[in-house]
Structure 1
Amino acid sequence: MNRYVALLRGINVGTAKPIAMADLRACIEALGHSNARTLLRSGNVVFDSAEPVDARSLETAIATATGVSAPVVLVDDARFRQIVAANPLAEVSVDPSRALVYFLSGPVAGGPADDTGRGRPSDTDLLPERLAFGEHAIYQWCPDGISQSKVPAKYFLSLGVTATGRNLRTVEKIVALLDTP
């Protein structure tokens, strides 16, 4: 049995793309997966599966069941923990509500580290904010608050892969769900 984390992007933001978490759990379990548990209303689902799972199948099933189309980033238990442990900004991210991990659906073509042409401010222009790149995630520290970030939202949409962010407080709660039988 394998454990997965499905992260839906852009649901339940204000009144946009509303999905009830009970419906999301039911959809996941209707696909034959088990032990589906959601966290908050932002599209975080931890579940178990004896069969391989792919994000596209989840996206299609969720859209069919709820009428809401939302990209899904699917991460297995081991990879999720690896991404969390690899956070290069962990020492400076003293407030978990002001630090983000953007989980990526795949590798960014050409790598994101030299991506100022996609609309990302230079490292100097970002200060005191920080952005760091991992193989499967982008890490962001926003000491002035996430709503004050100097990185435009369109940057994350320009990567050519799905990127969905969660603050470290939420990430820690997802890890706790992964630890729960």
Structure 2
Amino acid sequence: MTRYAALLRGVNVGPGNRIGMADLRRIVTALGHDDVRTYLQSGNVVFGAADGADPERLGGDVRAAIADELGLDVPVLVRSGAELTALAGANPYAKAQPDEVKLLVAFLAELPDPDRAAELTVPGTDTAEFTFAGTGRDIYLHYPDGYGRTKFSNAYLEKRLAVASTTRNWRTVQALADLTSEH
């Protein structure tokens, strides 16, 4: 049994795409997954699935079940516990930035086109910094001036990379790594 985290994009952040965490747990459990737990109200669900399960398929199954049961089309990105542990242990900004609120990770639905990734830059005078993680499907983000007013947002990343993404703060990334650890 392998632990996974499914990250739903854009739920419970405004009046649309409202999903109760009890409904999310029920949906993921009905798909046959074990030890299903949600974290916060922002669409994070951890679960156990068969070893060797395809994370992309797992995300597609959760997305389809949400659409069938709740009538919402929500992108679902899945990472294994091993991937989250590796991410949590390798943030290049964590030691230099004691304020965890200024650290985030953007999870990409797929590898971006290499040319688009190479051309990604922070707009204008924005002070944000970014580093692609080892797999290339995740991006470490550092916002020295905070995330609230940046133009280097999730929407900006999606537009520039032409890939769906969802962003989580550093505390959430660490919590999900802990919740999906195999011990």
Contact kept in structure 1, 2:82 and 2:181, CA below 8 Å:
no
Which runs of 4 or more aligned residues in structure 1 lie more than 6 Å from their structure 2 counterparts after TM superposition? none
Q: Secondary structure at the match of 2:156?
A: helix
Q: Secondary structure at the match of 1:108?
A: coil
Counterpart AA for 1:151: F
TM-superposed deviation, 1:153: 4.1
Matched residue, 2:99: 95
Q: Secondary structure at the match of 1:139?
A: strand
TM-superposed deviation, 1:180: 8.0
CA distance, structure 1, for counterparts of residue 173 and residue 166 of structure 2? 12
Matched residue, 1:169: 171
Is 1:144 aligned to 2:145, yes or no? yes
Q: Secondary structure at the match of 2:73?
A: coil
Contact kept in structure 2, 1:97 and 1:167, CA below 8 Å:
yes
Is 1:11 aligned to 2:11, yes or no? yes
1:75-100 CA distance string (max 9 Å, x none): 11111212222222222332112211
Q: Secondary structure at the match of 1:121?
A: coil
TM-superposed deviation, 1:142: 1.3
Q: Secondary structure at the match of 1:82?
A: helix
Matched residue, 1:29: 29
Indicate how the Cα distance of structure 1 residues 133 and 157 shifts in structure 2: closer, same or farther if over 3 A, else same: same
Number of aligned residues: 175
Matched residue, 2:77: 73
TM-superposed deviation, 1:175: 2.1
Aligned-residue Cα RMSD (Å) equals 1.9
Contact kept in structure 2, 1:101 and 1:168, CA below 8 Å:
yes
Contact kept in structure 2, 1:101 and 1:139, CA below 8 Å:
yes
Is 1:64 aligned to 2:64, yes or no? no
Q: Secondary structure at the match of 2:180?
A: helix
TM-score (norm. length: structure 2): 0.86
1:38-81 CA distance string (max 9 Å, x none): 01111001100126242212211111122221101111111121
TM-score (norm. length: structure 1): 0.87
Counterpart AA for 1:154: A
Contact kept in structure 2, 1:3 and 1:178, CA below 8 Å:
yes
Contact kept in structure 1, 2:106 and 2:167, CA below 8 Å:
yes
Contact kept in structure 1, 2:108 and 2:165, CA below 8 Å:
yes
Counterpart AA for 2:60: R
Contact kept in structure 2, 1:113 and 1:133, CA below 8 Å:
no
Percent identity, aligned pairs only, is 38
Q: Any stretches of 5+ residues in structure 1 without a counterpart?
A: none
